[in-house]
């Protein structure tokens, strides 16, 4: 396989992953439970922060608060989460209810 063919193949794989991530993000925005999104194989290469921001009522600041509360880095990928971290994020009351933060507290 020539270098050009390898490059085109890699680009096709990357575009497929980006398309799959976009579909998953739309599903989360439409109401897919966050715990189900974490278990989805399409989320593996996404950062947890990027997936959190897709949840209705959760913006960048709220996502940072959730990550900080669970001791996670903003650049942590979903595939790098331990089972305990996935369980804790799935049970987070802010993500379970889709509520908004008001001055750092769940409303």
- Output the pTM of the full model: 0.80
CB burial of residue 27 (10 Å; 0-12, 13-18, 19+): middle
Q: How many other β-carbons are positioned within 10 Å of the β-carbon of residue 10?
A: 10
Architecture per CATH, domain 3-106, reads as Orthogonal Bundle (1.10)
Tell me: the pLDDT tens digits for 43-101? 999 999 999 999 998 999 999 999 999 999 999 999 999 999 999 998 888 877 554 44
């Amino acid at each position: 396989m020539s270098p050009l063919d390898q490059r085109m193949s890699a680009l096709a794989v990357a575009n497929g992953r980006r398309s799959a991530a976009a579909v998953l993000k739309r599903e989360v925005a439409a109401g897919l439970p966050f715990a189900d999104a974490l278990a989805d194989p399409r989320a593996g290469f996404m950062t947890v922060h990027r997936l959190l921001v897709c949840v209705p009522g959760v913006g960048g600041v709220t996502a940072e608060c959730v990550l900080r509360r669970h001791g996670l880095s903003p650049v942590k990928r979903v595939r790098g989460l331990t089972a305990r971290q996935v369980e804790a994020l799935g049970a987070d009351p802010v993500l379970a209810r889709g509520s908004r933060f008001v001055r750092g507290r769940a409303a």
